[in-house]
Amino acid sequence: MIGKLMLGALALTASIPALAQTAPSIRYIQAGHLLDRPGQAPRGASTIIVRDGKVAEVRDGFIAPEGGAELVDLREAWVLPGLIDMHVHLWGIGGDPVRARIEAADRDDADNMVTAIGNMRATLDAGFTTVRDLGGDARGMRALRQAVAGGTIPGPTIVNAGKMLTVSGGHGDATNGRREEIAGVLREHQLNVCDGPVECARGVRQQVALGAEVIKFAATGGVLSNVSGGLGRAMTPEEMRAIIDTAHGLGRKVAAHSHAAEGTKAALAAGVDTIDHGTFLDDEAIALFKAKGAWLVPTMLAPRAALAQARGGMLPAATIPKAEAAGAAALESHRRAIKAGVKIAFGTDTGVSRHGDNAQEFALLVEAGMTPAGAIRAATLDAADALGLKDQLGSLEPGKWADVIAVTADPLADVRRLEKVDFVMRRGVVHKLGGKRAGFPAN
């Protein structure tokens, strides 16, 4: 059954702190059903041999461990690569706007970092072993990324943006709605607000200097911000090109927050790598996606979560019509994009919704026309491709990182099975076993 771990040279017990765990040199994972390359037919009984945190071999049948290696018994489980979420916000309180509003005056970066550590653990527990964080404290997220990479704290592998670049008064400008004396102070310290191509190129370089591995900009307004133009295009095409060209010159991919079709089309024409949200798509936008080879990251969970929060009084009433319009338009837009063959990478905008609920996006992708197999591929092989990491992540093949999850029933028959993950391994280290955190007290 899932969670039975036969121990070899090293023991994984609740008495060993998880922070001290390291991957033993060799582990054998016996899988009852294996989706080693999502999108292809699953394999039957198989054994994954993990050596030094990477997949060394995948063999047919249940192979007995050799040389004192550990055995992870998942013979009754469906095993697949760790999931990838292309759009999260780990920094600070997420998915609970009332608590965020109440605590806002008393919180600082130390509080937000501690909360982010908890958010990271919830994300890892949900089976997401890699995330693209698209907007948090630039230096703080860099520190968290490095801490996970170094094994200091448990969490998913992080590909982090710094602050989202935006125009003055746009989505992401912290001075919006503030009294002038407060706005003036904020304005002096904001590095993410840019007006004109020269300033926008500078903004990219400053975020990279702070540790950004990917650049994000606001092509349009947002559901959760009250800005002039609503969800319409905010940046000029010249500003977008300056951001994208500068980022690409520095080896960074670029994500555009975009709702309105005009913002999406301008970003695609300028060469953006991913459009996140893509709420209002027309035929021209869909054609541009295909011509440019760009990825759509739908994040359908976000407007539904925002709408539920607004109707429950947790967000301003002005959010309701925007969330309603965005949710309805997004489903139709994404159906059209999927049918047309636009490349889809899985993303949720978690932080609007609750951390750990990321897998609820799978059912929404299926509702929009994807098969369960296609939705799983969007969160594994395709997301890895969109990150530029397909040689390291997204499938269980020799040479790739041993990011492995397991569920108790066939996710190809019911994709909601992925909403309850029983086993999580990241880079050869077991983090969740039998539905419980490995090495942690049950809490």
Check residue 426 and give its pLDDT: 97
Q: Taking the model in full, what pTM does it have?
A: 0.89
Q: Is the pLDDT of residue 181 over 60?
A: no
**Average of per-residue pLDDT across 296-309:** 86
d(CA 297, CA 314): 26
What tokens appear for 194 in the block?
């840019």
Q: What proportion of the chain, given as a percentage, has pLDDT over 90?
A: 71
pLDDT tens for each residue of 365-378:
999 999 999 999 99
What tokens appear for 321 in the block?
């019509």
**Average of per-residue pLDDT across 192-207:** 95
Check residue 192 and give its pLDDT: 86
Residue 413's φ and ψ, nearest 5 degrees, are -90, -35
Check residue 221 and give its pLDDT: 78
**Average of per-residue pLDDT across 135-157:** 95
Strand 274-277 versus strand 128-133 pairing type: unpaired
What's the sign of the alpha-carbon dihedral 306, 309, 312, 314? negative
**Average of per-residue pLDDT across 209-233:** 77
Residue 279 contacts residue 247 (beta carbons within 8 Å)? no
Reduced to 3 states (helix: H, G, I; strand: E, B; else coil), residue 301 is: helix
Check residue 281 and give its pLDDT: 96
Per-residue DSSP letters for 230-272? TTSB-S-HHHHHHHHHHHHHTT-EEEEEE-SHHHHHHHHHHT-
Q: Is the pLDDT of residue 65 over 50?
A: yes
More confident residue, 180 or 438: 438
Q: Is the pLDDT of residue 274 over 80?
A: yes
Per-residue burial over 247-265, b if 16 or more Cβ lie within 10 Å, else e, is bbeeebbbbbbbbbbbbbb
pLDDT tens for each residue of 404-425:
999 999 999 999 999 999 999 9
More confident residue, 139 or 105: 139
Bridge partners of 81? 404
Residue 205: which residues within 8 A CB-CB, separation 6 or more? Answer: 246, 250
Please report the domains of the chain, with CATH numbers, ordered by start residue.
Answer: 4-81+395-437 (2.30.40.10), 83-387 (3.20.20.140)
Check residue 24 and give its pLDDT: 56
Check residue 320 and give its pLDDT: 73
- Helical segments of 133-223, H only: 138-149, 180-189, 197-209
**Average of per-residue pLDDT across 194-209:** 96
pLDDT category of residue 15 using cuts at 50, 70 and 90 = very low
Q: Is the pLDDT of residue 114 over 50?
A: yes
More confident residue, 21 or 415: 415
Check residue 184 and give its pLDDT: 47
Residue 331 contacts residue 370 (beta carbons within 8 Å)? no
